[in-house]
Structure 1
């Protein structure tokens, strides 16, 4: 989880106005893909029944 938090912190420090449009589009696609993966893991863990 630390790595995830660190990666998000890194994204937050970037100046998106400085990112070339094509690279920004690529990043947006990748971010949406990673967000879907994260949501799948949240859903997976939500369904776990604890003893």
Structure 2
């Protein structure tokens, strides 16, 4: 989780207006892909149930 947090921190300090347009487009596509993966993992973990009784 620390690596994920560090990656988000890195993005937060970057000024998107200074990123070349093509690179920004590539970043946005990758960010959406990674966000979908993260949402899938959140959903998978949310569905975990406690021990059966």
Measured against the shorter chain, the TM-score band is over 0.9
Matched with 1:8 is 8
Shift of 1:12: 0.1
Shift of 1:50: 1.8
4+ long deviations beyond 3 Å: none
Gaps of 5+ in 2: none
Matched with 1:44 is 44
Gaps of 5+ in 1: none
TM-score (norm 2): 0.93
Matched with 2:31 is 31
Matched with 2:17 is 17
